[in-house]
Structure 1
Amino acid sequence: MSFLVLLLALLVEKLSGVRHRIQRDGLWFTLLARIDSGTDAGAPWLRLILLVLPPLLVLALVLLILQPLAYGWLALPVHLLVLIYSLGRGDVQKSCGPFRDAWRRGDAVAAELVAERDMGIEACEPGSLLRRVQRYLLWQGYQGFFAVIFWYALLGPVAALGYRLVALLAEQAQGPALRERAVQLRHGLDFVPARVLVASFALVGNFIAVSRELLHELLNWNLPAEQLLERAGRAAGDLGEPLVGDPGVASLDLLWQLLVRSAVLWYAALAIRALLL
């Protein structure tokens, strides 16, 4: 059933705008604001558990009740809703659109402004700005899709929801102690799926370049997943120095196609697993 849910989620994502109606975080953000504004700064792990564990327990209980009914088919809508909710927020390609237009024109000032407005990337010199946008594209593609698919395929909807809640906490928590613990936990959750995606980049891109760039650091625990993916993506796509104009825009298209080919590879592998099990 998991592969069917993955296919349905992909169809819903590509053919409708229902994802944005499902991804309502208001209630959870209210709980975050209430717990994060407390005075007990010495218990950040407890706060994290109070924010993440109750939704996971409720979901696990619902699935436990539905799983024996109708051969488990009643649980399918719950799987689908949770998986869609757990995908990334926003539209990566849409957020990069104004930057692409400005970069194609060679308007560095406009590119800096839209990068800061739409992607939260602070202004910097043009070459570094394009590399930051490339990193943003790869990271958003990974954390918004690949990491969620990995944990869902491995451990089911509870794990997928847990990853998204930890990711939201790492991005939205105001308290430094709570945010630091969420970042630490997310780093651990990203360790394996990020490296599986790096291996996918090598298979669908330049295998030799990726191996030369990252083979010696593949198991480096201290290497952030965002930096790992940027280096792997640039190596797999044979990207050289950042260029202004159409060549720079073409580099973003190349990285996006790298993500698309990796997604096809993942779905093919999951289809084979479904046939064999």
Structure 2
Amino acid sequence: MSATLIAVVVALVLGHMAPTLASSVRHFGWYRDWLRWLDSRFPEGSFWRGRWGLAIALVPPLLLVSLFQLALHDALFGLASLIFGVAVLFYAWGPRDLDLDVEAVANAPDPVARRAAAQRLWPEGGMPAVLDGGSLVEAVFRNAQHRWFGVLFWFLLLGPAGALLYRLVAQSAEGEASTALPGETNEGARYFFAILDWPVAQLMTLALALVGNFDTVLGAWRDAGGASFDVRRPFLGAVARASVTCELADEAADYADDNLGADAGEAGLAPPPIPAPVLTGEVPELRDAMSLVWRSLLVWLAVLALFVIAGWVA
């Protein structure tokens, strides 16, 4: 089995089974301090304060990780490289456990607690959390993209350096480190982040089409501009909403068939409401959103395993 697949599975399981360890390790204060130090050294009008000034901050840590990656490639029959890959991927994953954050929203005892829990699904310093089902679905998929799939995609493409690249750019665009960047540099970081996210969103949409209703996903993708090369088009949110709505409609139809019979719809009888015990918390969309996210991740891992079997991934 490929070292790449092993690293992905180990990092995923470790992050899910040891959230305390993950929260204690995944800190990027050093990167924020590094950005502040750079900002204090470059005057107005310098390259640092331009659209692509973030490159100055990214090159040193990424170069260091790349050198380690190359140096450990054949060490100890590849074991050292595997351990290093797991460590970097584990560090770049998250930084918080998505399952726990979503569960906190679903199980919140009152609207105030639910809003406070939902705020963890919105970028730091951004707009306040919105509690309607559609917005929460978009938030779940946005976090899945930024916490899981984006890191995974760039790790598969570029190795440990790719995973760290994605996480540092995410921190620069909307994380705690973004406050240390000048305005123009931060705008460039946001655009670079959108570039990194675009292929990830496309592949997540493809996975959703495979695990959900293909026609619904394809229609939502087209209507939201997914076929465009505009990297700032937020089509994944529209696709996620449509997928979850379709899932809930199918569940309601199945429940009606089980309780009224297959001929209930033909008789003009309205389907009964799904009872509360069937739902997760008071926001049923959250349950289906997380189910689709996990199924999409399994599709990614299955495709990776097929690539390994075919010998396309080392």
| TM-score interval, smaller chain | 0.7 to 0.9
Q: Is the 2:92–2:151 Cα contact (8 Å) retained in structure 1?
A: yes
Letter in 1 for 2:178: A
Does residue 84 (structure 1) correspond to residue 96 (structure 2)? The answer is no
Distance 1:71 1:55, change over 3 A: same
Aligned to 1:64, what secondary structure does the other structure show?
Answer: helix
Does residue 10 (structure 1) correspond to residue 12 (structure 2)? The answer is yes
Write the distance in 2 (CA, Å) between the matches of 1:66 and 1:123: 44
Write the distance in 1 (CA, Å) between the matches of 2:120 and 2:220: 32
Write the distance in 1 (CA, Å) between the matches of 2:220 and 2:237: 11
Which of 212, 219, 226 in structure 1 is aligned with 2:219? 212
1:192-211, aligned counterparts within 5 Å? 192-211=199-218
Over residues 13-38 of structure 1, what are the superposed CA-to-partner deviations in whole Å (9 max), with x where a residue is unaligned? 12223322332312222111222345
Runs of at least 5 residues in structure 2 that lack an aligned partner in the other structure: 250-275
Q: Is the 1:36–1:173 Cα contact (8 Å) retained in structure 2?
A: no
Match of 2:300 in 1: 266
1:141-220, aligned counterparts within 5 Å? 141-171=144-174, 172-174=177-179, 175-215=182-222, 217-220=225-228
Q: Is the 2:149–2:200 Cα contact (8 Å) retained in structure 1?
A: yes
Match of 2:232 in 1: 224
Match of 2:257 in 1: none
Does residue 57 (structure 1) correspond to residue 63 (structure 2)? The answer is yes
Does residue 255 (structure 1) correspond to residue 289 (structure 2)? The answer is yes
Match of 1:275 in 2: 309
Q: Normalising to structure 2: TM-score of the pair? A: 0.76
Deviation at 1:11, TM superposition (A): 1.8
Write the distance in 2 (CA, Å) between the matches of 1:83 and 1:113: 29
Does residue 39 (structure 1) correspond to residue 43 (structure 2)? The answer is yes
Runs of at least 5 residues in structure 1 that lack an aligned partner in the other structure: none
Structure 1 residue runs of 4 or more that deviate by more than 6 Å after TM superposition: none
Over residues 152-186 of structure 1, what are the superposed CA-to-partner deviations in whole Å (9 max), with x where a residue is unaligned? 11221111111111111111323211110001111
Taking only the aligned residue pairs, the percentage that are identical comes to 26
1:227-242, aligned counterparts within 5 Å? 227-238=234-245
Match of 1:28 in 2: 31
Q: Is the 2:173–2:186 Cα contact (8 Å) retained in structure 1?
A: yes
Aligned to 1:237, what secondary structure does the other structure show?
Answer: helix
Write the distance in 2 (CA, Å) between the matches of 1:15 and 1:116: 24
Aligned to 2:94, what secondary structure does the other structure show?
Answer: coil
Write the distance in 2 (CA, Å) between the matches of 1:123 and 1:258: 22
Count of residues in correspondence between the two structures = 267
When the two chains are superposed, the root-mean-square deviation of aligned CA atoms in Å is 2.6
Distance 1:211 1:118, change over 3 A: closer
Q: Is the 1:35–1:47 Cα contact (8 Å) retained in structure 2?
A: no
Distance 1:274 1:249, change over 3 A: same
Aligned to 2:220, what secondary structure does the other structure show?
Answer: helix
Deviation at 1:253, TM superposition (A): 0.6
